[in-house]
């Protein structure tokens, strides 16, 4: 079995760069990319000041098809002395035709309430006006930091220790939900608000589970494609499950919430361990998918699959697929009785035929003590590891079509934006964009490994997995050809293109890659 095709150069890509520019603020990231309907794109970047330049806000930039800047606007987040509310947090951004909406969540000191508002403007004049969406009394809210989160098509995941507010946008970007953690010593409680992109309120609901907060973990909160229904997937540690002889001492619960109803389905991973599941909403079915093990939660042996009816939540299928022989060869070079550790969800993609491409990464954290050699002093250093890429394709029956492991060894003690990867789908091919600081390393048994990248040396590569599970790769941008390295883990998708921002010092540049 051949794990790759090292000679392939037949991955068609078109690269277009903007001019190199400098912002007033050092740190910025792309939070939204939208086609303008004329082969150009609208890009929204958030910025944050550093030690010597306080401030925060958004850059709105309109580019033509050649990444030439047509128009730009800066929206600065400032607080006037006369204001009775805090600056607040922008939870997310959604576009409604030519109207762009920033969803703001701020504390009003006079009324002692948290107010969620939409700051709306036409993209042609950027004259923002405010519209209140809802307010919640401060004594109701679980104390903790306000959480800014914008999930598009993927839902919010694992934010227990979940004080604050979160925003989730559905896959088609037609609706969004805001969830607020409510203070309650005896029950897990959240207020949930659902709006369409025109700011019409669809749902105002309080979700309550009679169990202590620490025993309920939110896996996902998702908005349906039609924008009328919310789905909550939770991992719940109950007294009943403590008595299980095998498998995880917990159960998963999927709750369906509409304007006037709430329904919950409980399901178990039986004798297996599944540390986490991810919800995927289709027109006629809902699937919950994740990695499972037969021993410990972080020693994964395969992929678990549950299929439920989207209305009744009746369980239609339940499967546990062990990793394929090809996957084991990719990972270890030959068939070994090993299990993969520390997998973290990265991206779920849906093919035109409604197959699921499930992407993850081997992520873990280590610490090391560094001695300064004087008087026994030193410091502890935290290292973030972003290793192998795991990708699997699951068909509509819940069976594995293929599973691949792409060997990668990357770690950082600081900014992880230049390592890890961004994945996307075109037709039935899966693509990964990654940086590597050196040439791709060949391993035994027809395998390859992508190595460390940094701000000093980052060669941009694309990996393609075809519908049969075979993959090839090529370098598409050499470090020598760049003024700045590109933040490959923060790619923003629009159509068949991916937008990356690059930074080196105060220099910045945007890169558009079209498949």
Q: Which domains does the chain have, with CATH numbers?
A: 84-514 (2.130.10)
Quick check: 143 and 183 in contact, CB under 8 A?
yes
pTM of the complete model: 0.88
Distances (CA, A) of 375 to 367, 369, 370, 372: 21, 15, 13, 8
Q: In this structure, is the dihedral angle defined by the CA atoms of residues 287, 494, 457 and 7, taken in order, positive or negative?
A: positive
Collapsing DSSP states into helix, strand and coil, what is residue 138?
Answer: helix
Q: How far apart are CA 216 and CA 270, in angstroms?
A: 19
User: Shortest CA distance to 408 belongs to which of 367, 360, 368, 469?
Assistant: 360
For the record, the structure tokens of 357 come out as 């491409």
For the record, the structure tokens of 123 come out as 């993209």
User: Shortest CA distance to 361 belongs to which of 346, 371, 380, 349?
Assistant: 346
CA angle 167, 151, 308 (to 5 degrees): 100
Q: How far is CA 514 from the centre of its chain?
A: 21
Q: How far apart are CA 318 and CA 323, in angstroms?
A: 16
For the record, the structure tokens of 327 come out as 């996957």
Query: pLDDT digit of tens for each residue in the chain (515 aa)?
Result: 234 444 445 899 999 999 999 888 778 888 889 888 788 899 999 888 765 556 788 999 999 999 999 999 998 877 655 566 666 788 999 999 889 999 999 888 888 899 999 999 998 888 999 999 999 998 887 655 444 444 434 343 333 445 578 999 998 899 999 999 988 888 889 999 999 999 999 999 999 998 887 888 899 999 999 999 999 999 999 888 888 888 888 999 999 999 999 999 999 888 999 888 999 998 889 999 999 998 877 788 999 999 999 999 999 999 999 998 888 888 887 766 667 788 888 899 999 999 999 999 999 999 988 877 666 678 888 999 999 999 999 999 999 999 999 989 899 987 788 899 999 999 899 999 999 887 777 776 667 788 877 767 789 999 999 999 988 899 999 888 889 999 999 899 988 999 999 988 888 999 999 99
Q: How far apart are CA 386 and CA 407, in angstroms?
A: 11
Q: Quickly list H helices, 308-459.
A: 325-332
In this structure, the chain runs to a length of 515
Residues 6+ apart with CB under 8 A from 32: 42, 43, 44, 93, 95, 492
Q: How far apart are CA 252 and CA 219, in angstroms?
A: 9
């Amino acid at each position: 079995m051949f794990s790759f095709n090292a000679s392939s150069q037949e991955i068609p890509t078109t690269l277009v760069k903007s001019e190199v520019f400098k912002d007033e603020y050092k740190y910025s990231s792309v939070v939204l990319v939208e086609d303008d309907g004329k082969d150009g794109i609208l890009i929204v970047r958030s910025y944050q000041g550093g030690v010597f330049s306080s401030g925060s806000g958004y850059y709105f930039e309109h580019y033509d098809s050649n990444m030439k800047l047509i128009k730009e606007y800066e929206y600065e987040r400032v607080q006037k002395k006369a204001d009775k509310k805090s600056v607040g947090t922008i939870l997310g951004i959604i576009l409604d035709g030519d109207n762009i909406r920033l969803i703001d969540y701020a504390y009003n000191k006079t009324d002692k309430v948290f107010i969620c508002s939409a700051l709306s403007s036409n993209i042609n004049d950027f004259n923002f006006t405010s519209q209140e969406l809802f307010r919640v009394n401060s004594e109701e809210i679980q104390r903790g930091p306000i959480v800014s989160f914008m999930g598009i098509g993927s839902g919010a995941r694992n934010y227990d220790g979940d004080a604050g507010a979160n925003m989730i946008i559905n896959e088609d970007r037609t609706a969004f939900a805001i969830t607020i953690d409510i203070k309650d010593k005896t029950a897990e409680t959240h207020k949930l608000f659902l709006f369409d992109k025109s700011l019409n309120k669809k749902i105002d609901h309080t979700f309550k589970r009679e169990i202590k907060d620490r025993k309920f973990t939110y896996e996902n909160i998702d908005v349906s494609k039609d924008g009328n229904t919310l789905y909550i997937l939770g991992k719940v540690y109950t007294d009943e499950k403590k008595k299980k002889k095998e498998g995880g001492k917990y159960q998963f619960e999927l709750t369906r919430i509409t304007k006037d109803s709430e329904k919950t389905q409980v399901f178990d991973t039986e004798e297996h361990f599944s540390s986490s599941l991810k919800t995927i909403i289709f027109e006629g079915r809902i699937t919950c998918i994740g990695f499972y093990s037969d021993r410990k939660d972080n020693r994964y042996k395969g992929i678990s699959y549950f299929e439920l009816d989207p209305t009744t939540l009746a369980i239609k299928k339940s499967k546990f697929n062990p990793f394929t022989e090809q996957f084991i060869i990719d990972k270890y070079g030959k068939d070994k009785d090993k299990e993969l550790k520390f997998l973290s969800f990265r991206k779920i993609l849906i093919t035109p035929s409604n197959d699921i491409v499930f992407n993850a990464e081997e992520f873990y954290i280590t610490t090391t003590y560094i001695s300064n050699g004087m008087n026994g002093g030193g410091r502890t250093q935290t290292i973030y590891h972003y290793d192998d890429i795991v990708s699997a394709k699951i068909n509509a029956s819940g069976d594995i079509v293929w599973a691949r492991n792409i060997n990668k060894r990357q770690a950082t003690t600081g900014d992880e934006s230049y390592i890890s990867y961004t994945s996307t789908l075109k037709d039935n091919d899966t693509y990964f964009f990654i940086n590597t600081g050196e040439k791709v390393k060949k391993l035994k048994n027809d395998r390859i490994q992508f190595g460390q990248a940094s701000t000093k040396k980052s060669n941009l590569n694309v990996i393609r997995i075809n519908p049969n599970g075979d993959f090839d790769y090529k370098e598409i941008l050499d470090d020598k050809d760049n003024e700045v390295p590109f933040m490959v883990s923060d790619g923003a998708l629009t159509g068949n293109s991916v937008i990356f921002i690059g930074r080196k010092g105060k220099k910045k540049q945007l890169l558009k890659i079209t498949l």
